[in-house]
Amino acid sequence: MKLNLSTLTVSDALAHMASGDFKSIDLVEALGAAIAVRDGELGAYVSVDLAGARAEAEAADRARAAGKAGRLCGIPIAIKDVLNVRGQPCTCASKILDGYVAPYDATAIARLRAEGAVFLGRTNMDEFAMGGSTENSAIKRTRNPRALDRVPGGSSGGSAAAVAGGLALAALGTDTGGSIRQPAAFCGCVGLKPSYGRVSRYGLTAFASSLDQIGPMTRTVRDAALLQEVLSGADPMDATCVETPVPPYAAQLTEDLRGMTLGVPAEYVVEGMDPAVAQAVQHAVERCRDLGARIVEVKLPHTMFAIATYYIIGTAEASANLARFDGVRYGLRATGATDPLDMYKRTRAAGFGPEVKRRIILGTYVLSSGYHDAYYLKAQKVRTLIRRDFEQAFASCDALLTPCTPTPAFRMGEKTQDPLQMYLGDIFTVTANLAGICGLSVPCGVAPGGLPIGLQILGPAMKEENILRVGHAYEVARGDQWLG
Ligand code: GLN
């Protein structure tokens, strides 16, 4: 059977492997060949472990033949280079982790492994997940597979490029302020940011511990549901990971939205927004109405403070989390130092890139004794107001429909000299992380030039089933006109 690697879904691949149309090893060989042909240009992967993937695929094929196929048996998945996979480097796209090899599996990886997934390679990202274009990677540039002069988004840009570019069936990303949803929107794939506490963060290199979540990036909402079922659930290794039972997300998907109420927030319109984005989202809202949903307008009045709040809390937490990279414990250690303090300074000066340094400086400043109350404490209070906005909105609806980003993918280099412009692009995604709720990005159209547009569907905390249901029904009604 001829494999179409740019459109094959996880759920179809599972069905084909179950009926013997092809094996996991065939899939891995085909993807390996596609990576060899195309990844030189795309730059989605920072490393590919074909030998390891072949061994895992063969083990998966044997398990299937023995009637012991796990839920993701033989599915090749690409992993953002911020998650620890035992025996593999984990660079976080930073020079400071040069030479580091992960001694253990992250819980998310262990869960995928237990269900038979195959690990193809590690994807490029903004250094320590700080950025929205993958241009902050210290390793390489990644191109948007739908428009090669554009960024793939970030920070999980390599994962999005791999899925959209036909170089993986699915990928893991992480989302602290939009890093799964925004690259999914830019590259035209599906990205799910789970609720805070839904997925264990054990083995994820921390950026901002109160905001970070791991989630799937896929070609369909059904595939996101399949992966999310495996990823979700309590973990003794992460005390913030909750016990809430995991519903059978994929089995609960429906093709209509009868009985659901969907809110449209008036505040999710900003200056400089691309008219094509507003129009595509408006069409998607109408489509959801046709599917039986009741559409209501909701208010999220504190949205205007979200960027400032996020960039205070996020940098504060980053400055604390990144203190561990000191040349003593992991990776790089600068030579020629005269004493330990000199060694820390030289290592951190040489190891971190400019955006990471900017955030460490900003985060240290907002936590410093003279400014803590004015910035960090104030931001925590505003965070509470933002969370309450959502609680109130969700009192009258099951999910919200918004644009994922104000514009489609921008040109490479366009915003690298202007960090503030880069930050402002995160306006629609950071709110979900601040509130701890879940969010999904689903392709909903293309702007001139064929640039994908993402519909963001936000749901209450621990209600992934709501947003997956909306996303799936919408996706089926939309058809596959912008994919492949
Ligand atoms: N673009 C945002 C930032 O730069 C989000 C990053 C993320 O979610 N990891 O912080």
Closest CA relative to residue 196, chosen from 224, 220, 172, 232: 232
Please, which pLDDT band fits residue 149 given cuts at 50, 70 and 90?
A: very high
Rounded to whole angstroms, the Cα distance separating 250 from 108 reads 19
Name the average pLDDT for the chain.
97
Strands, E, within 113-165: which ranges? 118-123
Question: Ligand 1 atom 5: the closest Cα is on which residue?
Answer: 177
Closest CA relative to residue 121, chosen from 234, 214, 191, 35: 35
* Angle CA 15–33–222, to nearest 5: 30
Q: What is the DSSP string of 241-252?
A: S-------TGGG
The preferred substitution site among 179, 309, 422 for testing ligand 1, maximizing ligand atoms within 8 Å of CB, is 179
Of all residues in the chain, the percent with pLDDT exceeding 90 is 97
* 103 and 196 Cβ atoms separated by less than 8 Å: no
Amino acid sitting at position 188: G
The active-site residue, picked from 156, 179, 200, 319, is: 179
Residue extents of the structural domains in the chain: 5-263+398-478
The verdict on whether 156 is a catalytic residue reads no
- The confidence score (pLDDT) of residue 3 equals 87
Q: Which residue matches tokens 């012991």? A: 68
Rounded to whole angstroms, the Cα distance separating 131 from 129 reads 6
Q: Omega into 195 within 30° of 0, i.e. cis?
A: no
474 CA from centroid of ligand 1 (Å)? 27
Closest CA relative to residue 227, chosen from 238, 213, 216: 216
Sign (positive or negative) of CA dihedral 157, 159, 161, 164: negative
The active-site residue, picked from 80, 193, 415, 463, is: 80
469 CA from centroid of ligand 1 (Å)? 26
The preferred substitution site among 426, 428, 433 for testing ligand 1, maximizing ligand atoms within 8 Å of CB, is 426
Using one digit for the tens of pLDDT, what is the confidence trace for 334-347? 999 999 999 999 99
Q: Which residue matches tokens 């505003």? A: 382
334 CA from centroid of ligand 1 (Å)? 28
Rounded to whole angstroms, the Cα distance separating 372 from 378 reads 8
- The confidence score (pLDDT) of residue 329 equals 92
Using one digit for the tens of pLDDT, what is the confidence trace for 331-377? 999 999 999 999 999 999 999 999 999 999 999 999 999 999 999 99
Specify the ligand 1 atom closest to the Cα of 311.
10
Task: Check: pTM over 0.95? Answer yes or no.
Answer: yes
Round the CA-based radius of gyration of the chain to a whole number and report it: 21
Q: Tell me the mean pLDDT in the region 198-211.
A: 98
Using one digit for the tens of pLDDT, what is the confidence trace for 233-250? 999 999 999 999 999 999
Identify the CATH number of the domain defined by range 5-263+398-478: 3.90.1300.10
Cβ neighbours for 189, distance < 8 A, ≥ 6 positions apart: 160, 163, 164, 217, 218, 219, 443
* Angle CA 446–452–458, to nearest 5: 110
- The confidence score (pLDDT) of residue 482 equals 62
How many other CB atoms are found less than 10 A from the CB of residue 341?
A: 9
Q: Which residue matches tokens 């995604």? A: 429
Amino acid sitting at position 266: A
Rounded to whole angstroms, the Cα distance separating 27 from 14 reads 11
CB burial of 190-206 (b: ≥16 within 10 Å; e: otherwise) equals: bbbbbbbbbbbbbbbbb
Ligand 1 pocket at CB < 6 A: 129-132, 155, 175-179, 207, 314, 426
- The confidence score (pLDDT) of residue 483 equals 59
* 212 and 204 Cβ atoms separated by less than 8 Å: yes
The verdict on whether 195 is a catalytic residue reads no
* Residue 45 β-bridge partners: 123
The verdict on whether 6 is a catalytic residue reads no
Of all residues in the chain, the percent with pLDDT exceeding 70 is 99
pLDDT of 1 above 80: no
pLDDT of 302 above 60: yes
pLDDT of 480 above 90: no
Using one digit for the tens of pLDDT, what is the confidence trace for 157-170? 999 999 999 999 99
Q: Omega into 94 within 30° of 0, i.e. cis?
A: no
How many residues comprise the chain? 484
How many other CB atoms are found less than 10 A from the CB of residue 271?
A: 6
